[in-house]
Amino acid sequence: MPTIKQILAIIEYHKDLSESQQREHTEHGYHQAKSHMREILYFINQYQVPDKEGLRKYAEEQIKRCDEKLKEIKGKGKLRKVIDKFCANTN
């Protein structure tokens, strides 16, 4: 079993990757970011990591944020299709 220090290092690694992925502002990036946050929750739960830093709450908030961003992206895609269809019909 890994030590708490090793687990915290893994969690920090996933946190950094998630933040990096979110900076891409793409659908793929947000899905990847959510995956990294789920890994953090897994490690916290699996190894009973003391949550002194508020990592659980942070991860849950980031997952919600990614979900919201994904909804925005998908919404923009639908709007773009409607606009394109309208423009095609008027030309």
Distance from C-alpha of 24 to C-alpha of 18, rounded to nearest angstrom = 10
Residues 30 and 73 sit within 8 Å (Cβ to Cβ): yes
Q: Which carries the bigger pLDDT value, residue 16 or residue 90?
A: 16
Mean pLDDT (the chain) is 85
Please tell me which residue, 61 or 7, carries the higher pLDDT value.
61
Model pLDDT for residues 11-34, shown as the tens digit of each residue: 999 999 999 998 888 888 899 999
Q: Which residue has the tokens 């990757």?
A: 17
Q: Domain residues for 38? A: 4-90
CA 42 to chain centre: 14
Q: Could you give the angle at which helices 4-22 and 27-46 cross, rounded to 10 degrees?
A: 160
pLDDT band at 49 (very low <50, low <70, confident <90, very high): confident
Domain count within the chain: 1
Question: For residues 40 and 11, is the Cβ–Cβ distance under 8 A?
Answer: yes
The pLDDT tens digits for 67-81 are: 998 888 877 766 666
